[in-house]
Each structure stands twice: as C-alpha cells, then as structure tokens.
Chains A and B, each alone.
Chain A
C-alpha cells in the first residue's frame, strides 16, 4: 500500500502529534462551503480499532470514508461508529505513527481493525508553519535537524548547535563568550540594515531573539541560550518562500521551528543525564615578550632618528598578559525529565542546570530551566494543551569584543615590559587601558535573565479533518544587570567607584487562531488552513547610575554621592491574516499556495499593510507507473516562488519625524531625533527555488539539492543624507540585494547490519551575495573599513591594497587605485575582499558497533576573509607606546628582506594608512565534535534490578582541531556583532573554547 495519504490522515487527528501541529483559528467562508457539502450516509458500520502490538484500544484513531469528508474517531475504548454511503465504500483507518489501512465495505456491519505501529512513519512528517506535512508531499525547502545529534554537547545555545548541520544555514559564534551572540543566516543575509536573523518559533510561539542587556562594545548575548537544548525534539529550518511565506512579513530571513518534547501514551519514563568537562581557549593572543617590546620600540626610535628609549632591552620585565586572565574553564550539565501519560493526559516535565565557566576570566554562564508540556483530551472533540518553559540565565560578563578598555583590551595593549603589580602592590596602570587582572577581578558585572515562554492552546474538532485551534502565548523576558567598577580600575578611580543598575522587561503576547480542513476528493488531497495572528511587544527599561562611593565596600547606588537614573519604553504590534492550500494528486503531482497579509505598527500610514503570497509545485516521478527504476526509491522535482517580508532592524517609530528629550544642565529640553518617512514599508524578498530529492537503494542514499535566487527589494536602509540637513540618515525603502546559491545535502547509510551501522552526512552550500542598488556608496565602522557599494557583496573590506614591502627600503607598497602615478591615502582605497564564505557546510560520520557509538563532526568555511583588526593596533611600528603582536617581529630590517610587515618608521605606519595585510584568509576546517559512547549491556543492567532500563556513558570533545591559515585567535568570530553591517572582524574578541567532557545518560 502506498503511503500517499499520510499527510491528511496524520492531520485529521493530532492526538499524539498535537505537539507538532500548531494550527489555530481560521476564518473562512471557503471552509463552511465544505462543511455544508458533507455527504449523507446510509449504512452504519461499527467496530473497534486496536494496536497490533498489545491489543489495546487505539484511542482517537481516524476512520474516514475514502473520497468523502465523512469520518469519525475511535472513542476511549477504541470503538467507533460511522454511517457510510453503502457497500463498495472504502474506509481508511489511520493514526499518526501507525500504518494506515483501507478496507472496502462489503455487506458487513462490524469491522474490527488492528493497526501496526510504524516508527518510520512518524519521521515521515515535517513540521511546517501552523501544521504538519508529509515529507513526501512537501514542495518547500525544509531542512530537518534531529535534536538527538545536538544533545550532550557542551554548548549553551541551540543556535550554535545548528552550525554545519543543515545546508544553506550559515552559523558562526560571535565570540567564545559563554551564552554570547550567534550569527545565523539562512541563505545569506537578505537585508542590509534591517535584521537578517531568522524568525524562531518555539512550539508555535515566535520568540524574541535579540541581545538584551547593556551594550558592551560589540559583545552581544543570545536570547536563544535561554532554551535548554535537551528539551528539543527536533528543529525544522524553513528556507524557501513556499515554506516561509505563511509567516509573511517576518519570514524573509527564513524560519527556524523548534519543537520540544511531549509526552506519549506510555508509562512514566525518567531520564537523567549529566556531563562534566574542562575547556580552554582554542588559541591565545600571541604577543611579544618584554625584551622584544623594548627592542622594537628602540628600533623604531632609531629609524625615526630619535634617541633610544630603553637602555637595556634584554633585561626588561617580561609579563605574559594573556596568561594572567586566560584559564582552564569548566562546563557541566544536569538534565532530568519525566514523561508519560494515558488516554486523557500526557505530560513531559523536565529540569536542567547548565554551567560554563568561560576560558577568559571572569566570563561565566549558568542556566537553570524547567519545562512542562501537557496535552489533555477532554473528549474526542475538545483538546487542551500547554507548552511552558521557564529559565533563569546568569552571566558574569566582561567588556570584550570591539572594546579597548576591557579584559582583552588590556591583554593586547599593555606593554609586556610592565609588571602586573607595582612594588607597592597596586595594579600597574597604563593609559586608558585597564590592567587585565584588574578588569577581571575588580569589576562586578552580572546579568540575570528570567525568561518565561508559555503557550496554551485549545482545539475543537468539528469533525475529522476540520479543526479549530486557538492559541495564546506569551514570551516574557526580564533582564537585570548590575555593574560596579571599583577604584582599582581606571573607570572607577576617576569617580571613586562607578556603578550601573539596569532592569528591563520585554514582553510579547501572541494570539493565533486557525481553522484547518483536510479532505480528499478521490485522489485529490487537500490540506487547507486559514488563520489570524496578533502580536504586541512592549519593552520597558529602568537604569540608574552612581558615582562617588564612600569606599569599595559599598557597591549599591543608594550609597553613591552622585546618582542619576532614567526610564524608557517602546512597543510595536503586528496583525495578520493568512491562508494556505496544499494539494496533491495521488501523491504524484503536488502544489501549494499560501498568502499572508500583515499589518505592522512600525510602518507609515501609507504602507502599513503588506501581502506575501507564495506558490509551489512538485512532481514525484518515482510514483509514476512508467518510472520503473529499481534502485531509485524516491525522485521528486520541485519549484517554488514567493514573496516574504522583513521589518526587523528598524526602530519601532522609524516612520515618524520625532523630537526627543535633551536637557541643558538642569533645564528640560527637546531636540530633533529623526527625519520622518511616512512611506516606509516592508522589505520584500522574492525567492525562486528549484530542487530535487533523490532517494536510492531504499533511501539508504538520500540526496537533496536546491538552487535558489533571492532578490530583496525596497531594502530598509538608513540612506546617508547630507549632514547639512542636521541629520545623517533617513531610513528609506531604497536599494536591492541579491543572494543566489546552491545547497547539496547527502546522507548515506553506508553499512546497515545487525551490529554495525555507519551513516555519513555531508552538506555543502554556496551563497553569492551582491548589492544591486544603493542610493550612494557608504562606509561603516570606524576608520571606514567596510564599504557598501553596488555590485559588491555585503561585509566588503575597504582598505589600501598592500601588495608587498619594498625589499630595498622596507616601505609598504600600495596599489595606486586611480592610476595617477602616486599612491594617495585620500583616494586610493578599494575593496580587497569580503567576509562571506564561498562555501560552507559540515560532514558527520556516525558509527554504531554493538554497544559502542562513535561520531565525528567536521564543520568548514571556505573563501571568507577575516579581518585581524588587532593587528592594526598591535602592529603599529612603534608609532604608539602600546604592545605589539608577534607578527610585528616579521618586520623588514635589512635590504633584501621579503616580508609584508614594513620597516619600523613613523611614515610606514602613518595614522592615515589602512593596509590590507590585516585582511586575511579566514577559511577553516574544524573538528567540531568528536564523540564516543558506550551503552552498558542490558544483561548487566538487569542484574542491577534498580529499575534502570538503559545506561550510556560517553566522552565528547568539542573544537578539538582547527585547520586554518588565519593568524588571529579564531577565524570564526565577529567582534562587532552589535551592528548587522559588519562581519568577520576579530577585535579583542574572546576566542572559542575547546572542551572535553565525560557524561552519562540513565533511563528508568
């Protein structure tokens, strides 16, 4: 029997699957039409549906008369009653996770059926927006990540764990800070100054993903880190327009749907897991020694015709600043969950504790979280459920990443010839930079986040296939931060201690209602959905600052002599209507159409509403009668095209011309804030996707390929305006951006034997990003090192192209861009590369032999440039009195020397030079995880007699090896993550850690 009805049948009832399906209300006259036209029945059939394995009743099983909308569900005893049109009618018995059966009604009046459980069938479904869809009939481009791959890995954030696991999804950690921000781009960045982060949906709730808390240079935090990865059942990544456009105005960057674990109809199962391990930075800053520092300074002075600065460099103090703050960190995790249920109530409850002590003192992240997922079947028709997560995340933060006065700023800037402490025991101070030991130990910086994500839904089944669902959700984040810089720090010493206290609440409520109707007419299968969604987000913050403390014993602002405080708030809202029809003819010919209409408070009255349609078609060739190739088990061609929108990254009131407060000493005042633009509207991304899925040898080899072309129009862009207007920019819908690329994913079950299984997964993606239209080229970040220009990709580096160093003189050689015969720093800058990889992806190998399992996961990025901006400051050629990176030792010294690092003179390192030698090849291949596990044999466990049903022990290594030519600490990081305009820059960035953990999983 072919499985082509799986989709409809699965969705007809989602008893077990209701956690996966998240439909909601609806609207639709269309719907009522079908309801009115339901058929009249003449013969009554009764019977009982049971589970083959144990003969127990299959509560809620679906019984449908084929070709009609006539159906019912089995009751709590598995009994059913249905009136059919008469002999010759075909009844379809189905249930999610069971192989469906078709039985033709002869003249019997009782039909008892046993359904066989089919675990692979569950895997045959993917979660799509507001529902489930059979994998076989999906026409969109959807990547599924099995959460079991991502568990027991010592990483705080689920977003980080996606790295390398799905084609087309580029993930990189902004830094090695635990719980820090993560860069996730699905099919390239489709917006310039609007946000490019995907929309995250957790159990149907679109959650906030920004970086809350106080800005610290470029350091960000990840709101996704509030979720415990071990709660996750699976993750679907929606990539093309037909999959995403049901989320309309927020879908242009792709959608990540996270589904958490739910209870099943089974006896209680308790699982406990824990791991513990150590971590260390994958690389530490490589700076010169004290004697080398003095030698280089003297050499520069001599070259500049100045007196020697240090009499005897060889006897210089030698401090390795990095070793004063880098440390062996630790990481540990405890997880406990219990799940089970019966016909009426099913539950999954979990709690966990994760703590990571970062590799750089004092960075720490700790998360305590709990989850309760419940499903209650009040009757065959009425169901309720809830998905609730609470978490508390504590961070010990430090001012790193794009911040010269933090811990790492001190490590890089303080000369190696200075001691950590002065003879009197006080910290050595140097210029504006904090002594790194003081920055690590004398600054308290705690961030405390309480997060509640709750969802309650009710469902009413009018009749099999016709469901109304109403869902109410809240995403509530409370952030509290306290900072205190005591008088041993520069920041604190000027004002006798400086403290900041900050509290913020971000609250978002969402109401969604959907009406879904699944039916077939002969071989024509329809899955239809209409719905509404309303969301309102408010943000409030209060901040207090204090200076002048009586002593370092006092750290609360109430004791400060000078106190200031402020409060602020903002809000936005979205209202939406949407609908979708998925159609297939006999599982062979597939089509879908969806449309969403969104209104947003962010936009001007002229353009408040936007419409985002999408359509797709597919052809399952392998289902055709004529297709008779034994080795090909699945061959599907598909294509989609659609529109999606984006409204993130702009202010809530960007459309309005506004004035804000601005006082003059003690007198209240106002000042112009921004220019208004009442025509502001959505960014629109038009995406074409063409692809195929190929399954060979009974799906042992699966290949998925997609080509896509995304064009984003009406970019929300802060267009530079002449500053003679009094403003520097106006947010306009101006500009176009293109992303096109290919994705290939291969999964092969190389060996499938009783005791030996070997699976290899490989994915590779290439994306080409190009700016098609801009009002005018513009430069971003300080020293204008990034340039946005038509015809070039985003994140392009804008430098003086250095082609070498003159072997005769040691002077740097720069390209004369305008060809006028001389190099002029004013005009001879050009784009020398960009931070976008040419290709990226991952390779994973899973091997199971008897009780052993062994997995290896590599992740790679090729062709991306990484800017080692630390070198700009620490390869200063003696023009500053700050420390040098060891790369400075490669300087030109004698005629004939061939190097990229010029002779140490003021002219060769003049302040107006931006040499391209700092833009390096950032390609890398990384052994992301290496894991070996052992399942204690059942025979041994049973002897324990303690109720333990399984025990697995394992060791996992993370980031153990990195292969790269990049000279900085980590080719993956981005220091300036607080702005979406820059990427691929190391600038006092905390490198990621490598860790080794050992762990155990126990089930009872």
Chain B
C-alpha cells in the first residue's frame, strides 16, 4: 500500500515538473504575432520611429559623427571614438561607427518586418498605405544614411555600396550574409523606396512622422547628392509651395518650441524618452558631459556676425578656455526634438541646385533669392553684389550659410564631401587638446565598414573594406 501511495506522489510530482517547463515571457511577445492586426501594426510602426530615436542614430550619433569630422566640432573629452574621427585616424573597430551601422540596419530590419507583414493584416487599404508609406520612407532614409556614410557619393568618392537587405530577418540563413553591391545600387534602393513612399503618402498630417512632404524633401536632398540639380530643385519647390510651410522667423523657436512652421520632419522626444545630444556638448557646469566643443574659428565666425541670431545659440564653457558649445538643444531633460528635414534646407537646396546650373545673371539672382530667404530669417541682410558674383562664390556663400544654419544637425561633413570641398576646407583645423589637424587621405571621406561586420559576414573580406581602411 505504501508503494501504491508513493507512486501517486510520483505521478503528481512529474506532472508538476512538466508544468514548470511552461514559462512565457512577460515583457515581450513572439515575433510571429508581433504584427497581426491594425493595432499591433501601428505599434510596430511607432517602434520604427523609436529606432530612429536611438542614441546610436539620430539621437545624437550621426550628428556628432558629421560635425566632429568637419570644421564645426572637435572632441575635447575622454570619448576617443569621436576623437579618432576628429583627428582623421578612425579605425574599423571604432565603436561609434559600429553603433551607427548596427542601429541603421536595425531600423532597416524593423521596416522590412512592416513591409512584409502589413499587406497581410486585416485593415483598410488607407491604413495599410499609411503604415507602408512611412516604413518605405524610413527605409529610404536609412539606406541614404548608410550610403553617404559608408559607401560614398557617386562621382566623388567610393565605389562599393552597402549591403541591401529588404526581407525581415527571422533566423540566420544564407540570405543573412549579403555582399556589397555597387554604390549606384545603394542609391537606387533609396530612390526606389522613396518612389513607393511617394505613392502611398499624402500631405503633411504630422511633423513627427513621415509624410509626403518629407518624402519630397528627402528626394530633394538625395538628388543634390547625386548631382541631379533639376530634380533637386523641382522637389524643393514642391515642398516649399505645397504644404503651407513658412520659415519660422525666430530661429531659437525652432528648437525651443518645436514643430515650428518650417518643420517638415522632426523626431519627437519627451522627458521620459529623451536624447543625449545636449549631454555631449554641454559642459559639466551645465550638467553635461562636455566631450564635444565647437571649433573656435567656427564659433567666433558665427558670434562675430553681429546681427545673426544664430550666434545667440553659442555659449562658452566657463571652466575651459576656448570651449564653445551650441545651445540649440538645451533642454536638460534631453527632450529636445531632433529635426531631420526643415524648410530652410529646401531653400538652400534649391539655391544650390540653381547656382550649380545657373548660366545667366537672372538665374544667379534666383539662387541668391533662396539664400537670402534664409539669411533674412536669421536677421541678416541680403547677400548680393560684391563677392557673390560667380557661381562658385554663390555656392561658397550657400555652403557657409548651410554650415551655420545646420550646426549640430549633422549636415556639414557630408555637404563638404559631396561638393568635393572636404580636402580643401578641412585643413589645419585648430584643436584645443592637440595640434592642428588636416584631412589628407581622400579615402577617409567615407567611414570604414565596422571590422566586426567583416568578421561576422562570411561573404565579406578585407577587399570588401573601404580602401583607406584595409
């Protein structure tokens, strides 16, 4: 009898034992059910913006990489990954390079999930179009950022593109090890996604989300990179004319008040979901990390333009002589919105496209008109007459205006590279904690493919690395 009872106990114990093997995650869901209806698809779309928000991407990293590699900012702190960029000795193991690469591809994979799954969910076509349109736009933006950072600019620098992945990753298969296509194929992917997004989105319902306006604005920028002045101008004009946008007259208000009248697409942040860009620039006295400062000549140039209200957004670290920092993004909770596309860029894009193509004084004036729209907004007088007569002079004035207008917004290095000016302008840059630096190696106008990626991808080898980093 005892043993009979014992066996019952045993059976109970075994039953109990099997039970403990059935555990479910409490804070996550299975990937197969992540996008299954309208609600979950919309949640996944929100998550896609969260990918852009990451500190490894638009949260601060891409802006710092561009500015610190240019004549705008310098690395004065302990974070030597930015110092490597600042002094043009970036190695393929550079952590921030890898962070940017990985985060952009994370956004790409996220978009791929939406693009693959949303057509199959139960929802109206309008809902699906909106979600898919935003996903295509973000994928276009992601491939654009990958291409200009790691592949180069067609005709200026770089020959190899970035690996193109358009299917969601649900496991490791042969398709998980893509090769590098041509640089043209990379930009073709950007244009293809923009085209799909253009057909799916309408209007400008929210400045914090991708819209038809942001598609066209990005089109304008991409065509400028590709040297297609006509389309760059055409798309800039469409944005300027069609969405009720006006330049915010108070420059500081763009950043302080957010979602201003000239905003096309800006990432929204709040205090519980903040970004780190302020922390990198602001000195310790202001509760920041103080790792990045403006190059002194740049800061003095902006401050020295007495009427330029943009100079008001530069301050001096009281504790470190010569350490100027921008105060554009100054909210202590890190809740500044991050602008990605603004109307002033459309004017400057169109000015540049027009100046590039100008053959008559009238066409040059049209370019100057657009430039002056932006200057006037900054309380500056028109640029006209002496010193801005030739196309090159006008282009130089536009480039100068762009550097000031988009300080800390991550445009400068890419602008210098795409216009072929990097090797002539990035010369003898004064630095606070070391000798002057010069970009001498043309191959360093693009960044290295992270060494980890080449290690992990069996279809990449040292010949897949950008030439300057082999």
- Chains A and B come from one and the same complex: yes
Q: Which residues of chain B are within 8 angstroms of A624 by Cβ–Cβ distance?
A: none
Q: Which residues of chain B are within 8 angstroms of A38 by Cβ–Cβ distance?
A: none
Whether a CB of chain A sits under 8 angstroms from the CB of B299 is: no
What 1/0 flags go to A401-433 for Cβ under 8 Å of B? 000100000000100000000000000011111
B25 contacts A575, CB within 8 Å?
no
Smallest beta-carbon distance B349→chain A, Å:
27
CB-nearest residue of chain B to A36: B3
- In the complex where A304-B434, A532-B10, A726-B169 touch, is A664 in contact with B47 (Cβ < 8 A)? yes
B287 contacts A660, CB within 8 Å?
no
Q: Which residues of chain B are within 8 angstroms of A433 by Cβ–Cβ distance?
A: 284
Q: Which residues of chain B are within 8 angstroms of A677 by Cβ–Cβ distance?
A: 171
- In the complex where A720-B452, A879-B434 touch, is A669 in contact with B106 (Cβ < 8 A)? no
Q: Which of A162-170, A322-330, A445-453, A487-495 lies at the interface with chain B?
A: A487-495
Complex: A226 Cα to B450 Cα, angstroms: 44
Q: Count the A residues whose beta carbon is within 8 Å of the partner chain — how many?
A: 97
Whether a CB of chain B sits under 8 angstroms from the CB of A34 is: no
B21 contacts A600, CB within 8 Å?
yes
Complex: A562 Cα to B457 Cα, angstroms: 44
B21 contacts A432, CB within 8 Å?
no
Q: Which residues of chain B are within 8 angstroms of A391 by Cβ–Cβ distance?
A: none
Q: Which residues of chain A are within 8 angstroms of B45 by Cβ–Cβ distance?
A: 669
What 1/0 flags go to B290-325 for Cβ under 8 Å of A? 110000000000000000000000000001100000
Q: Which residues of chain B are within 8 angstroms of A725 by Cβ–Cβ distance?
A: 105, 109, 165, 169, 172, 176
Whether a CB of chain A sits under 8 angstroms from the CB of B288 is: yes
Complex: A515 Cα to B268 Cα, angstroms: 64
Partner of A669, one of B22, B25, B43: B43
CB-nearest residue of chain B to A27: B10
Q: Which residues of chain A are within 8 angstroms of B21 by Cβ–Cβ distance?
A: 573-575, 599-601, 608
CB-nearest residue of chain B to A826: B91
Q: Count the A-B residue pairs with Cβ separation under 8 angstroms: how many? A: 293
Whether a CB of chain B sits under 8 angstroms from the CB of A585 is: no
CB-nearest residue of chain B to A777: B455
Partner of A659, one of B28, B282, B288, B290: B28
Complex: A677 Cα to B171 Cα, angstroms: 7
Q: Which of B187-195, B270-278, B368-376, B401-409 lies at the interface with chain A?
A: B270-278
CB-nearest residue of chain A to B435: A304
B44 contacts A431, CB within 8 Å?
no
A776 contacts B455, CB within 8 Å?
yes
B83 contacts A911, CB within 8 Å?
yes
What 1/0 flags go to A632-667 for Cβ under 8 Å of B? 000000000000000000001100111111111111
Whether a CB of chain A sits under 8 angstroms from the CB of B469 is: yes
Q: Which residues of chain B are within 8 angstroms of A779 by Cβ–Cβ distance?
A: 93, 452
Complex: A880 Cα to B19 Cα, angstroms: 58
CB-nearest residue of chain A to B2: A462
Partner of A666, one of B27, B32, B270, B460: B270
Complex: A659 Cα to B35 Cα, angstroms: 10
What 1/0 flags go to A804-847 for Cβ under 8 Å of B? 00000000000000000000011000000000000000000000
Q: Which residues of chain B are within 8 angstroms of A37 by Cβ–Cβ distance?
A: none
Q: Which residues of chain A are within 8 angstroms of B40 by Cβ–Cβ distance?
A: 670
> Which residues of A, 769-791, contact B by the 8 Å Cβ criterion?
776-779, 782-784
- In the complex where A493-B287, A663-B50, A826-B92 touch, is A658 in contact with B23 (Cβ < 8 A)? no
Q: Which residues of chain A are within 8 angstroms of B95 by Cβ–Cβ distance?
A: 782-783
Whether a CB of chain A sits under 8 angstroms from the CB of B413 is: no
Complex: A669 Cα to B131 Cα, angstroms: 13
B287 contacts A494, CB within 8 Å?
yes
CB-nearest residue of chain B to A656: B30
Complex: A575 Cα to B177 Cα, angstroms: 38
Partner of A726, one of B3, B110, B282, B290: B110
Complex: A629 Cα to B366 Cα, angstroms: 111
A675 contacts B78, CB within 8 Å?
no
- In the complex where A664-B50, A721-B456 touch, is A912 in contact with B17 (Cβ < 8 A)? no
- In the complex where A431-B77, A432-B284, A726-B106 touch, is A910 in contact with B87 (Cβ < 8 A)? yes
A663 contacts B29, CB within 8 Å?
no
Smallest beta-carbon distance B26→chain A, Å:
4
Smallest beta-carbon distance B282→chain A, Å:
8
Partner of B171, one of A573, A657, A662: A657
A672 contacts B113, CB within 8 Å?
yes
> Which residues of B, 444-470, contact A by the 8 Å Cβ criterion?
450-453, 455-457, 460, 469-470
B435 contacts A668, CB within 8 Å?
no
Smallest beta-carbon distance A903→chain B, Å:
14
Whether a CB of chain B sits under 8 angstroms from the CB of A949 is: no
Smallest beta-carbon distance A792→chain B, Å:
15
Smallest beta-carbon distance B340→chain A, Å:
14
Whether a CB of chain A sits under 8 angstroms from the CB of B129 is: no
Whether a CB of chain B sits under 8 angstroms from the CB of A522 is: no
What 1/0 flags go to A893-916 for Cβ under 8 Å of B? 000000000000010001110000
A547 contacts B44, CB within 8 Å?
no
CB-nearest residue of chain A to B175: A725
Q: Which of A270-278, A564-572, A953-961 lies at the interface with chain B?
A: A564-572
> Which residues of B, 426-441, contact A by the 8 Å Cβ criterion?
433-435
CB-nearest residue of chain A to B108: A726
Complex: A27 Cα to B49 Cα, angstroms: 56
Partner of B46, one of A669, A675, A720: A669
Smallest beta-carbon distance B126→chain A, Å:
19
Whether a CB of chain A sits under 8 angstroms from the CB of B1 is: no
Q: Which residues of chain A are within 8 angstroms of B284 by Cβ–Cβ distance?
A: 429-433, 490
Whether a CB of chain B sits under 8 angstroms from the CB of A946 is: no
Q: Which residues of chain B are within 8 angstroms of A758 by Cβ–Cβ distance?
A: none
A906 contacts B78, CB within 8 Å?
no
Q: Which residues of chain B are within 8 angstroms of A608 by Cβ–Cβ distance?
A: 21
Whether a CB of chain A sits under 8 angstroms from the CB of B31 is: yes
CB-nearest residue of chain A to B465: A826
Smallest beta-carbon distance A725→chain B, Å:
4
Q: Which residues of chain B are within 8 angstroms of A495 by Cβ–Cβ distance?
A: 287, 332-333
Smallest beta-carbon distance A988→chain B, Å:
12
B172 contacts A665, CB within 8 Å?
no
A659 contacts B13, CB within 8 Å?
no
B13 contacts A653, CB within 8 Å?
no
CB-nearest residue of chain A to B83: A911
Smallest beta-carbon distance B50→chain A, Å:
4
B31 contacts A468, CB within 8 Å?
no
B77 contacts A656, CB within 8 Å?
no
CB-nearest residue of chain A to B102: A723
Whether a CB of chain B sits under 8 angstroms from the CB of A727 is: yes
Whether a CB of chain B sits under 8 angstroms from the CB of A967 is: no
B455 contacts A669, CB within 8 Å?
no
B10 contacts A653, CB within 8 Å?
no
Whether a CB of chain B sits under 8 angstroms from the CB of A945 is: no
CB-nearest residue of chain A to B86: A911
Complex: A653 Cα to B76 Cα, angstroms: 42
B47 contacts A724, CB within 8 Å?
no
What 1/0 flags go to B165-199 for Cβ under 8 Å of A? 10011111000111000000000000000000000
Complex: A826 Cα to B447 Cα, angstroms: 13
What 1/0 flags go to B71-114 for Cβ under 8 Å of A? 00000111010011001011111010010011001111110110
Whether a CB of chain B sits under 8 angstroms from the CB of A536 is: yes
Smallest beta-carbon distance B200→chain A, Å:
19
- In the complex where A306-B435, A726-B105 touch, is A534 in contact with B46 (Cβ < 8 A)? no
Q: Which residues of chain B are within 8 angstroms of A662 by Cβ–Cβ distance?
A: 46-47, 50-51
What 1/0 flags go to B7-23 for Cβ under 8 Å of A? 00110011011111111
Complex: A222 Cα to B226 Cα, angstroms: 58
A27-B10, A573-B21, A665-B208 known; 9 new pairs, CB 8 Å cut-off, are: A431-B284, A511-B13, A534-B20, A536-B20, A574-B21, A575-B17, A675-B170, A723-B453, A825-B89
A-B contacts, 22 listed (Cβ < 8 Å): A27-B10, A432-B289, A433-B284, A547-B333, A569-B26, A574-B20, A575-B17, A656-B25, A660-B27, A661-B27, A663-B273, A670-B46, A673-B28, A722-B460, A723-B452, A726-B109, A726-B168, A784-B93, A873-B78, A880-B77, A912-B84, A912-B90
The 3 closest A-B pairs by CB, nearest first: A726-B109, A494-B287, A573-B20
